[in-house]
Amino acid sequence: MISASSVVYSVRKKMVVAIFDVYCIKFPETCSASSSFSHIICSSNILACISRTKFSQVILVVAMAKPDYQSKSLPLWDFTTTLASHEVEFLLSGEEKVPLASFGEEKTIICLFFSANWCRPCQSFTPKLVHLYNRLRTIGKELEIVFVSLDHDYDGFNANLKSMPWIAVPFNVNLHKKLCERFRVVRIPSLVPLNLDGQSVEEDIIGLIEDYGEDAFPFTRKRREELKALDDSKRQGGKIDQLLARPGRDYVVASNGGKILVSELVGKTVGLYFGAHWCPPCRAFTAQLVEAYKQLRSSRGGCFEVVLVSSDRDQKEFDVNVGGMPWLAVPFEDQTRQDLCRIFNIKAIPALVLIGPDGKPISTNGRNIITLYGAKAFPFTQSSIEEIEASLKKEGDLLPRQIQDIKHEHVLKLDMAKAYVCDYCERQGKFWVFSCDACDYDLHPTCVEEAC
Ligand SMILES: [Zn+2]
Ligand SMILES: [Zn+2]
């Protein structure tokens, strides 16, 4: 058997620490069967794969190790009897003690929150959970959270507790181990809801909260399905205001800080531009989009609008980003930015989702369309793209397959290029080009002077 620390080491050598950041699996000091994940790794041949393998196989290991969550919510007494069996008589609420006997009498949904302050995903998730907890309680939802610490020591537990407004199980390593086993917690952070009358519970509550924030409550599978259906109807429903506005905000912002009503976008072709100031490919794409935008604004008036859905890291960066763009933006402090990324499944930026005048999506690959065809592709429908492609083909059919130009010693062949610079006029070119196979020489078809 190989110790867990050597597993971590061999994994680190392969630079796949990121996977462990995502899942943050807790390895015990020495390998034992106490965590099913470390057990899988240490007791099987997979370790051999890890030490000499590729990234994909390691992902496979982690995927295999995905914990088998209970599918049904457990009753509160499952928790309280485990505590009682360890002679715990009270829970901690700040400086106060909450007697176990009276805990959970009111019909509240109680979530056990397994977390540790040494765990980076916990560190980033806890503030989101605090926000959700405070919000839900403000709007009268009955939720209580109980912190079960997997901290290494009492100081760690205390430091962690200071950042949490909810109740905690007193620090007791053995009891926490027991609770992890009882509630089948094999990774942290983890939330386990109790008191849901045996309803099916969403498998990945942390992911659900990351995606939907407070809307995720009460974390059941039914709720996940409702939210997914809501996303689908927003995406396909043909209502731009449902996509861009939300209760209490019916506007988007302009680069000068002004507010533009979302209702003014109804009936227009709208590009939702997912980008960020810190992202160099976004800056390159922004320049192309600005060009197409300006052309369309002058040729088609207000038929086309772009709304930035920023992935900037803070308000300051967002302000700089928006200030340099001629179009509109979803306000930075707004959940809608996250909602739109989820609804359109945006995994990388820059991305451009094109919405038609009927409010329904035309293409999620607007970036490619703009990069290739620019403003010419308007209104970006399948038929307009096909038209462009047909006319390009026609153009090519009229050109000779190869030429001999007086400016160049070799034969130049007709080719198609996304972008090039003409070696004669030094201007940019797109699509048809006469190129030399022998040297890197390109010529616009219009710059050709055929040798006699
Ligand atoms: Zn030229
Ligand atoms: Zn040449």
pLDDT of 69 reads 45
Distance 446 CA to ligand 1 centre (A): 7
Domains of the chain: 4-64 (no CATH), 76-227 (3.40.30.10), 237-388 (3.40.30.10), 399-447 (no CATH)
Distance 141 CA to ligand 2 centre (A): 73
Ligand nearest, relative to CA of residue 448: 1
Distance 444 CA to ligand 1 centre (A): 4
Ligand nearest, relative to CA of residue 432: 1
Is there a contact between 355 and 270 (Cβ–Cβ < 8 Å)? yes
pLDDT of 301 reads 85
pLDDT of 58 reads 38
- Which tokens in the block code for residue 125? 């998730």
pLDDT of 26 reads 27
pLDDT of 341 reads 94
C-alpha span between 331 and 342 (Å, rounded): 17
Distance 411 CA to ligand 2 centre (A): 7
pLDDT of 196 reads 76
pTM for the full model?
0.70
Distance 396 CA to ligand 2 centre (A): 21
pLDDT of 25 reads 30
Distance 15 CA to ligand 1 centre (A): 47
Ligand nearest, relative to CA of residue 407: 2
Distance 442 CA to ligand 2 centre (A): 9
pLDDT of 391 reads 93
pLDDT of 264 reads 96
pLDDT of 200 reads 83
- Which tokens in the block code for residue 374? 């620019």
Distance 357 CA to ligand 1 centre (A): 38
pLDDT of 433 reads 96
The Cα-based distances of 71 to 183, 185, 254 in angstroms read 11, 13, 46
Per-residue pLDDT of the chain (452 residues; tens, 9 = 90+): 333 333 333 333 333 333 332 222 323 333 333 333 333 232 233 333 333 333 333 333 343 444 444 467 778 888 888 898 888 999 999 888 989 887 877 768 899 999 999 999 999 999 999 999 999 999 988 899 999 999 999 999 999 999 999 999 999 989 999 999 988 898 999 999 887 777 888 888 999 999 998 899 999 999 999 999 999 999 998 899 999 999 899 999 999 989 999 999 999 999 999 999 999 999 999 999 999 999 999 998 889 999 999 999 999 999 999 999 999 999 998 889 999 999 999 999 999 999 999 999 999 999 999 999 999 999 999 999 999 999 999 999 999 999 999 999 999 999 999 889 999 999 999 899 999 999 999 999 999 987 65
Buried/exposed 100-131: b ≥16 CB within 10 Å, e otherwise? beebbeeeebbbbbbbbbebebbbebbeebee
